[in-house]
């Protein structure tokens, strides 16, 4: 566990200013914020879709992916897997190019890598589902400070042993880290998993 990770949180007002000036990443971050209830805002799929579409106008691949995810899950729009597939395919190659361009800007690359991780986790577009690759990419995004990546390590990958060995101590660590930076769903998961953590982690410590 890397205890030096500093999760990135953002000011919504500043993101809106940057988004209106054409910054695609800010559009994506606004979309994510409303999509998942991050950065102190309430979940609102309609606002999420609005900002993803704004970034899509700037040809930002993360936002094109975001619109695709809205169609895939039916968030803020009628579910349309065929439309989602088209958007995921459209975003994929530009996303790879963006990741390469951002290799020296880790605090921006984190979000592009996270999107790529979702491709492998869900099997989006033409990508075959691969839990191990998904874990590596989401882990990378988390180490760069992406709070959603940190959350996913705790809530899913380490808790369920997806793409890596199950490790409840790591699961708890990453969820607590995300919760300490104000992520509501991390707090909810900590409450949901509390009895499992209390029973199994303490049991393994006694066995050791």
Domain tally, the chain: 1
Residue at 108 is within a domain = yes
CATH, residue 37: 1.25.40.10
**% of the chain with per-residue pLDDT over 90:** 92
Q: In the prediction, which pLDDT does 80 show?
A: 98
Could you tell me if 134 and 121 are in contact, meaning their C-beta atoms sit under 8 angstroms apart? yes
As a whole number, the mean pLDDT across the chain is 94
Q: In the prediction, which pLDDT does 3 show?
A: 72
Instruction: Please state the three-class secondary structure of 99-142 as a single string.
Output: HHHCCCCHHHHHHHHHHHHHHHHHCCCCCCCCHHHHHHHHHHHH
Handedness of CA 177, 180, 186, 188 (dihedral sign): positive
Domain that holds residue 71: 11-112
Residue at 125 is within a domain = no
Tokens of 95: 């996303």
**Residue 1 — very low, low, confident or very high, per pLDDT cuts 50/70/90?**
low
Residue at 208 is within a domain = no
Instruction: Give pLDDT tens digits for 94-108.
Output: 999 999 999 999 999
Residue at 192 is within a domain = no
Instruction: Give pLDDT tens digits for 55-91.
Output: 999 999 999 999 999 999 999 999 999 999 999 999 9
Instruction: Give pLDDT tens digits for 112-143.
Output: 999 999 999 999 999 999 999 999 999 999 99
Residue at 92 is within a domain = yes
Secondary structure letter of residue 10 according to DSSP: -
Q: How far is CA 28 from CA 91, 150, 164, 173, 196, in A?
A: 13, 18, 28, 27, 35
Residue at 175 is within a domain = no
Instruction: Give pLDDT tens digits for 14-36.
Output: 999 999 999 999 999 999 999 99
Residue at 65 is within a domain = yes
Q: In the prediction, which pLDDT does 203 show?
A: 47
Q: In the prediction, which pLDDT does 201 show?
A: 74
Helix 24-36 crosses helix 106-122 at what angle (to 10 degrees)?
A: 50
Residue at 181 is within a domain = no
């Amino acid at each position: 566990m890397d205890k030096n990770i500093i999760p990135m949180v953002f000011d919504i007002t500043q993101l809106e200013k940057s988004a209106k000036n054409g910054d695609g990443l800010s559009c994506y971050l606004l979309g994510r914020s409303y999509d998942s209830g991050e950065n102190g805002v309430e979940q609102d799929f309609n606002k999420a879709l609005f900002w993803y579409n704004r970034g899509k106008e700037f040809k930002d691949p993360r936002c094109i992916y975001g619109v695709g995810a809205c169609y895939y899950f039916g968030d803020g729009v009628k579910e349309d897997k065929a439309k989602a597939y088209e958007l995921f395919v459209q975003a994929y190659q530009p996303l790879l190019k963006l990741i390469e361009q951002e290799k020296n800007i880790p605090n921006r690359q984190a979000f592009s890598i996270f999107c790529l991780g979702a491709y492998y986790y869900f099997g989006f577009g033409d990508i075959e589902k691969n839990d191990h690759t998904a874990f590596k990419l989401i882990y990378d995004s988390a180490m760069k400070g992406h709070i959603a990546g940190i959350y996913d390590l705790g809530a899913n990958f380490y808790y369920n042993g997806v793409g890596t060995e199950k490790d409840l101590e790591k699961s708890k660590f990453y969820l607590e880290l995300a919760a300490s930076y104000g992520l509501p769903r991390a707090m909810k998961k900590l409450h949901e998993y509390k009895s499992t953590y209390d029973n199994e982690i303490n049991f393994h410590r006694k066995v050791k």
